Amino acid sequence: MRGEYKTPGGKLVGVEAVVNGAGKPVSCTIDGDFFVLGDDDAAKAMLSDLAVALVSGSPLADVFRRYPSVKLVGVDDVAISTAYQRALRTEKNGSSDETGRSIRANVGVGDVLDKLTSNNDVSHQLHQKRWKSLHPLVVHDILRSPAEQMVTDEEWARQVAAGVRPATLRFWRWSEPAVVVGRFQSIEREVDAKVAQREGFEVVRRTTGGGAMFIEPGKVITYSLYAPKSFTASLSLEDSFRLCDQWVIDALQNLGIPAFFSGTNDISCEQGKIGGAAQRLFSSKGGGPGALLHHVTLAYDIDAEKMGRILNTSPEKMRDKSVKSAVKRVAPIKRQTGMKFEALSSYLETYAKLSYN
């Protein structure tokens, strides 16, 4: 049995509950396009303990308190509890308001999590100072398969974390179509596997949170920034996204595309979403500096009909959007500029180099 809840302005969380013959829950799992910050083992343990707490009826806040170094971003205890209640088709822990959000009862209060309260962009001076100081090596990478891309992304991040690779901005080159699913998403829920296979799309899972990406070579521009953890030290998650991507906002605006940041991790314009970003921190190894992995996929063009056949978009996810489908939310760059794909790719790589000079 499954229930979902989309936090307004935040992320989707889903709960899959298993019940016995008497209808009593015996186990559950949690998935979604949210982000989790913190140590890998601790993050996995916290999600597992949250699932156990749901089934046992224990306060989720108690679980969060046991993992002070792990933070959920985009969802909170009430969102998780609401998804679980919907999975069971009951409201045992409280009544619901008109939006379907459960009123707090036995669940813990959401303020145990650090909320992203900053709505201000990183100051221009801070951006200039940190970005120019980072001075990443820009790499126009070779063609790689979707599976190899996932391995390379994590390997390069861990190399920076260990201090054996300098800060690097890598522009990906995709060898074949793919669906890239977020770290905490359910592949079965997000992708029609049979259609994906028939259409020649490889389904892979990336190392960061967030939602599914629809990839066709020559129709998306993907880049990864691998930087020491100190690059975004003391910044909120929202501001760290802005620091990493201000250069591409400037580049698009320079082309006459009125791009801006939206939500926690999206790059948008008035017509819709241009791209999305995701991040993950890697611990230091052997005295290394630790690393931030930040990657972005920008839509240059899109086969909306094909994407609609392959991706399963939850109606709950679109509930707080002004449009009724994920396809209509996307505003590819090709619609807004006459530049060819290769010319645009070359322009962005050049702009990235010039942005810290």
Each residue's pLDDT tens digit, 197-239: 999 999 999 999 999 999 999 999 999 999 999 999 989 888 9
Model pLDDT, residue 105: 29
Tally of residues, the chain: 357
| Bridge partners, residue 266, by sequence | 262, 276
Residue-level pLDDT at 317: 65
Question: Tokens representing 103?
Answer: 């009123």
Q: Are 94 and 100 in contact (CB under 8 A)?
A: no
Q: What's the start-to-end Cα distance of the chain, in Å?
A: 55
List the pLDDT tens digit at each of the 357 positions of the chain: 899 999 888 899 999 999 998 888 999 999 999 999 888 889 999 999 999 999 999 999 999 999 999 999 999 999 999 999 999 975 444 333 333 333 232 222 222 222 222 334 456 667 778 998 999 999 999 999 999 999 999 999 999 999 999 999 999 999 999 999 999 999 999 999 999 999 999 999 999 999 999 999 999 999 999 999 999 998 988 899 999 999 999 999 999 999 999 988 999 999 999 999 999 999 887 789 999 999 999 999 999 999 999 999 877 765 655 444 455 578 999 998 989 999 999 999 999 999 877
> What was the pLDDT predicted at 297?
97
Question: Tokens 């975004």 correspond to what residue?
Answer: 232
Asked whether the beta carbons of 279 and 182 are under 8 A apart, the reply is no
Tokens of 154: 């994590």
Residue whose pair of structure tokens reads 């296979």 in the numeric block: 197
* pLDDT on residue 319: 63
The structural domains of the chain, ordered by start, are 2-112 (3.30.390), 124-354 (3.30.930.10)
Q: Are 196 and 179 in contact (CB under 8 A)?
A: yes
Q: What span, in angstroms and rounded, lies between the C-alpha atoms of 273 and 266?
A: 7
Report d(CA 112, CA 254) in Å as an integer.
42
User: Could you give phi then psi for residue 167, rounded to 5 degrees?
Assistant: -55, 130
Burial class (CB in 10 A: 0-12, 13-18, 19+), 15: buried
Can you give the pTM of this predicted structure? 0.80
Cross-strand bridge partners of residue 73: 35
Whether residue 265 contacts residue 125, with contact meaning beta carbons closer than 8 Å, is answered with no
Structure tokens at 129: 């100072």
Q: How far apart are CA 68 and CA 149, in angstroms?
A: 32
**CA pair distance 331, 234, nearest whole angstrom:** 33
Alpha carbons 125 and 255: distance in angstroms, whole number: 23
